[in-house]
């Protein structure tokens, strides 16, 4: 029974590692090597995975579930940084720095996480330099996303931010029906674009009244007039 359990645990870790772009280019043997250095933890919905001021010493991989990364302003207001799904990783700054964490990570649903300690990931990067390049690629992508978000927050009104977000979401999830599903609650979306849930709801209704979108329920929004919505972001 124990042997079977260990086999299943090893398979789970190997599958977890294979989901991550920074590792999925490795050979099977190399992937097993990474998997052997990881361990698995489960978090229930709403549970904190880590919080600001804690030591930064691990890389986290979402095996199943969803995680939100956020910071708290001095007034206690939550600022959402990003949402992470299966195959995404976080805590990456721990690889290069021993400074304490500056953000919070919380399970949005029941979530399974694979964790690799800093010393292990650093050894793997030395042994397999391609991992380092993949991590730098991801850093570049996230920096670009952050700069885009900062630009929106500093130069656009709320309605423009919403329009920009919906256009980006449509590009990421192309569909002939032009229906997108918000990957988070309105509360979390409001936090990410720097507004309140009440203001977000009013602005979505305003865009609907202008026949740019239609809110169809269950977090689904149909983009009715893509050109007009795009023009809204550029006005």
pLDDT in tens, 54-89: 988 999 999 999 999 999 888 888 888 889 999 899
Give dist(CA 101, CA 133) in Å, integer: 23
Nearest to 69 by CA among 31, 24, 104, 45: 104
Tokens of 126: 């030395």
Q: For residue 156, what pLDDT is reported?
A: 67
Reference 120, options 12, 17, 11; nearest CA is 17
User: Which of 16, 26, 28, 12 has its CA nearest to residue 134?
Assistant: 26
Supply the pLDDT for residue 2: 34
Tokens of 152: 């929106």
Low-confidence spans in the chain with pLDDT less than 50:
1-8
Instruction: Measure the CA–CA gap between 198 and 30, rounded to whole angstroms.
Output: 50
Q: Domains along the chain?
A: 28-144 (2.60.120.10), 155-234 (1.10.10.10)
pLDDT, residue 153, reads 67
pTM (2 decimals)? 0.76
Q: What is the pLDDT of residue 9?
A: 54
């Amino acid at each position: 029974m124990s042997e079977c359990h260990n086999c299943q645990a090893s398979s789970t870790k190997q599958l977890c590692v294979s989901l991550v772009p920074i590792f999925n280019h490795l050979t099977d043997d190399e992937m097993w090597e990474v998997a052997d250095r990881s361990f698995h933890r489960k978090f229930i919905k709403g549970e904190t995975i880590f919080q600001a001021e804690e030591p930064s010493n691990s890389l986290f991989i979402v095996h199943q579930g969803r995680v939100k990364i956020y910071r708290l302003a001095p007034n206690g207001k939550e600022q959402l940084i990003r949402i992470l799904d299966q195959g995404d990783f976080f805590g990456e700054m721990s690889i290069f720095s021993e400074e304490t964490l500056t953000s919070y990570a919380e399970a949005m649903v029941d979530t399974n996480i694979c964790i690799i300690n800093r010393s292990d990931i650093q050894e793997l990067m030395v042994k397999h330099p391609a991992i380092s390049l993949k991590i730098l690629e991801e850093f570049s992508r996230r920096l670009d996303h952050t700069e885009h978000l900062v630009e929106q927050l500093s130069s656009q009104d709320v309605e423009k931010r919403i329009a920009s977000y919906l256009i980006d979401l449509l590009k990421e999830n192309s569909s002939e029906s032009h229906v997108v599903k918000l990957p988070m609650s309105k509360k979390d979306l409001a936090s990410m674009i720097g507004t309140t849930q009440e203001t977000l709801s009013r602005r979505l209704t305003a865009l609907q009244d202008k026949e740019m979108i239609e809110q169809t329920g269950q977090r689904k929004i149909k983009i009715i007039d893509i050109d007009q919505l795009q023009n809204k972001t550029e006005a």
